[in-house]
Homo-oligomer: A and B are copies of this chain.
Amino acid sequence: MEGTRLIPRTPSAYAYPLLIKQLLHTPLLYAPDEEIVYRELVRHTYRDFYARINRLASALTSLGVRPGDTVAVLDWDSHRYLECFYAVPMLGAVLHTVNIRLSPEQILFTMNHAEDTVVLAHQDFLPLLEGIASKLETVQTFILLLDDSERPPTSLPLTAEYEEMLKRADDSFDFPDFEEDTQATVFYTTGTTGDPKGVYFSHRQLVLHTLAAGMMLGCFREPRFQSGDVYMPITPMFHVHAWGIPYVATLLGVKQVYPGLYEAGKLLKLIEKEKVTFSHCVPTLLHMILSDPMASKVDLNGWKVNIGGSALSKGLARAAMERGVKLIAGYGMSETCPILTAALLKPFMLDWDIERRLDVQRKAGFPIPLVDLRVVDETGDPLPRDGSSAGEIVVRSPWLTQGYFKEPQKSEELWRGGWLHTGDIATIDQEGYVQITDRLKDVIKSGGEWISSLEIESLMSQHEAVSEVAVVGINDERWGERPIAVVVPKLGSKARASEEDLRAFLDKFVNEGLISKWSVPDRIYLVNEIPKTSVGKMDKKEVKKQFEKK
């Protein structure tokens, strides 16, 4: 801006770049002896962790990795993955967290598109890589991540095994300074159509996301994530850096527990044994954990869980709260690094009764520090904060992806008008809480009205015989679209969940004026399971496809 005065620089003064390595200063002094745990297999300290980061950077460098190169990881959640979160970007390279839930063809696409040169792969992914190895265009080196004592046979030309490689490497690496806008990570999301799209984040973006998310989770009551907690992610590390929380956890110097492949029983055992107090996951996984037979035997009282990825239904929220689980809903997406909002209670709400708190805590929440979030109409003008005017969420913050990797046109579309378009429909209430009413692509347009699939799902989830429910719009000649519901009944529930029962259940809400008669689904189907996407969200596109024909 014309006339503003930039601060005068002193030649010798250090121009401090925001780099991932700078996040380690505090924990290495504050918590050098705190533990990082991997399943029942590995247990070491932050001091060891730092030495291993140095060894990993030394080893990768001697394998030829240079600043600007891309290093791919295929692993379940592990201490090794955490080491890659730091060592790879810290040496100036780019970390590609491969989405292992994609199809082999899609994984091949992402690895070629990202131009991976070195691949670190857990033994479970050797068969997958064997199948696509001949078509990998840029990979030169495969490194094995081994849990067992013996190497499985493989046709893949392995250069090294991770632990042996670290053992041989120098435990001191001179991590260089470079520009804070240097790319640190890349990963791929599945769009509604076409190939997966890559989003990417810089050192500056990850550092700022860590500080703002840390502040939101720690300084705003209630509940909170703080030093002294024990952290275990239940959002895969390949998926938006496990929401960036491993960076926050490390900065706080808390004990960290990495569970490998997610299995409800194993997760519950780790929660009990390692005294886990803070986790994060999508509703589906929370549902899976709470419905596991072992869940009733583990004390979950006080377990704090950050929920995101899709809407938290009232039924699931109540079930969790009745077990003493403290929920923090939040909102974000791959493109946004991801955290944008958190539904923490305000101090004066803390003594509200559970039902009233539930209504607040299931919302997307209010924007975390530095997030400039608006709900706008179709011309881009902000809508009133009245809790009922719904429009698209557009957003600005320092950690949003600058675009889709090598997709300039889609990037421009994402950022049209200088705001990142989330594709989510929401309202903001007078207390400042954002509530997502639908995905732009999931919203049901019926006879000129918008029907919120999320709202109907949330109401139906409160029926005691409903385990999971998806509401989607089906093409309709007369009305454009009409809603249908797909329901997974709860096993062992005494209540029945026939179409008539559920319809009667919904009619109650119609009579109370909560929803319009128009938004009650035309058909309610009982199914054994609802299709899921690669990150465990309900795949509404697939549901639509399946039931369009019926």
Contact = CB atoms under 8 A, between A and B. Distances in A.
| This protein's copies in its complex | 2
A190 B418 CA distance: 46
Interface in A351-387: 366-373
Contacts of A372: 22, 25
Interface in A27-56: 28-32
A417 interface: yes
Contacts of A418: 12-14
A67 interface: yes
Most B Cβ at <10 Å: residue of A4, A371, A400, A419: A4
A225 B215 contact: no
Nearest to A30: B366
A202 interface: yes
A432 B12 contact: no
A262 interface: no
Contacts of A414: 10
A382 B62 CA distance: 28
Given A1-B177, A200-B7, A227-B219, A29 B367 contact: yes
A370 B22 contact: yes
B3 A92 contact: yes
Given A215-B214, A221-B228, A226-B220, A5 B182 contact: yes
B68 A4 contact: yes
A9 interface: yes
Nearest to A411: B10
B412 A182 contact: no
A394 to B, nearest CB: 10
Nearest to A94: B5
A534 interface: no
A501 interface: no
Given A3-B92, A183-B5, A402 B30 contact: no
B398 A18 contact: yes
A30 B346 contact: yes
B220 A252 contact: yes
Interface in A424-439: 428, 432
Nearest to A11: B412
Contact of A227 (B29, B32, B183, B347): B347
A403 B67 CA distance: 32
Interface in A259-294: none
A153 interface: no
Interface string A182-211: 110000000000000000111001011001
B183 A6 contact: yes
Given A18-B208, A219-B225, 13 more contacts: A6-B202, A7-B201, A8-B402, A12-B418, A14-B400, A25-B372, A211-B369, A217-B219, A218-B226, A221-B227, A227-B344, A227-B347, A228-B347
Interface of A: 1-14, 16, 18, 22-23, 25-26, 28-32, 66-68, 92, 94, 176-179, 181-183, 200-202, 205, 207-208, 211-212, 214-215, 217-221, 224-228, 251-252, 344, 346-347, 366-373, 396-398, 400, 402-403, 405, 408, 411-412, 414-420, 428, 432
Cβ-closest 7 pairs across A and B: A218-B219, A29-B432, A1-B178, A228-B347, A10-B403, A10-B411, A3-B67
23 contacts: A1-B92, A4-B67, A4-B182, A5-B67, A8-B405, A10-B412, A13-B400, A13-B402, A16-B370, A18-B398, A25-B373, A26-B371, A28-B432, A29-B366, A29-B432, A30-B346, A30-B432, A207-B370, A208-B211, A211-B215, A220-B227, A224-B226, A227-B346
